[in-house]
Amino acid sequence: MIKGVLFDMDGVLVDSEAFIAKAAIMMFEELGVHAKPEDFHPFVGMGENKYIGGVAEKYGITVDLPAVKARTYEVFGEIVRNNLYALPGALEFISRCSNKGLKMALATSADSVKMFVNLTEIGLPPETFHSIITGEDVTNKKPFPDIYLRASENLGLKPEECLVVEDAVSGIRSGKSAGCRCLAVTTSFSVDELHEADWIYSSLLEVPDEVLEW
């Protein structure tokens, strides 16, 4: 029986992908590297270490990861101000989960600084969730199951009692490997790419009651 819902953030609650890519591109420009938006796509959902580090590796440069992440977040915070909004159905879906008495956790591969910026911009208090786990809290990032195992444990639930809500292939694999059922939205990847999920919809507006009543 479902008792908890474990939410990814980017691509599920808010779509900040274009902004973090733009911020990272601007940061790389300062290093003399002309990165492109498509360079980042293979690393979506894997956390900023891989997101930025993977592109640095592609271009054959060595970076001070904490420093370049800090600069990227600084730029990110500037360009998203008053420009980020909750994705269609996200806040309503959270209300549905709350009204059903389901425990909720946020399980994002992003670092906490980005997580707080995103939640602030869409007007979603961190206290909405019974537990928050970020990419800083786990060693093995998605697609490893660690973050969703940690999230379910923090809620006092078994993974098989939890629904993972994701938009990324790596996140679905993480949730399924943890033993959770998975709901995917096609914000970032196609239906075919997200085929491992138990349910797939274009937005959280479309999710029927059966997804929250097993």
Identify the domain containing residue 106 by its residue range.
4-15+84-212
The Cα diameter of the chain in Å comes to 53
Q: Assess whether 110 and 208 both reside in one domain.
A: yes
Please tell me the predicted confidence (pLDDT) of residue 17.
85
pLDDT tens sequence across 133-173:
998 999 999 999 999 999 999 999 999 999 999 999 999 99
Find out whether 122 and 14 touch, Cβ atoms under 8 Å.
yes
Distance (Å, whole) CA 166 – CA 184: 5
Indicate the range of 16-25, 39-48, 93-102, 132-141 predicted with least confidence: 39-48
Joined tokens for residue 194? 């997200």
Contacts of residue 101, Cβ cutoff 8 Å, sequence gap at least 6: none
Find out whether 112 and 139 touch, Cβ atoms under 8 Å.
no
Q: Assess whether 128 and 106 both reside in one domain.
A: yes
Q: Assess whether 21 and 11 both reside in one domain.
A: no
Q: Assess whether 152 and 108 both reside in one domain.
A: yes
DSSP state of 14: B
| pLDDT grade for 49, boundaries at 50, 70 and 90 | confident
Distance (Å, whole) CA 186 – CA 204: 10
Q: Assess whether 56 and 33 both reside in one domain.
A: yes
Q: Assess whether 45 and 75 both reside in one domain.
A: yes
The CATH number that applies at residue 178 is 3.40.50.1000
| pLDDT grade for 184, boundaries at 50, 70 and 90 | very high
Domain end (from 38, 53, 80)? 80
| pLDDT grade for 44, boundaries at 50, 70 and 90 | confident
| Residues catalogued as catalytic | 8, 10
Helical packing angle, 17-30 and 65-80, nearest 10°: 130
Q: Assess whether 66 and 98 both reside in one domain.
A: no
Q: Assess whether 69 and 129 both reside in one domain.
A: no
Q: Assess whether 140 and 54 both reside in one domain.
A: no
Give the count of domains, the chain: 2
Q: Assess whether 181 and 110 both reside in one domain.
A: yes
Distance (Å, whole) CA 114 – CA 19: 11
Does residue 47 have a pLDDT over 80?
A: no
Joined tokens for residue 152? 């379910």
Please tell me the predicted confidence (pLDDT) of residue 32.
94
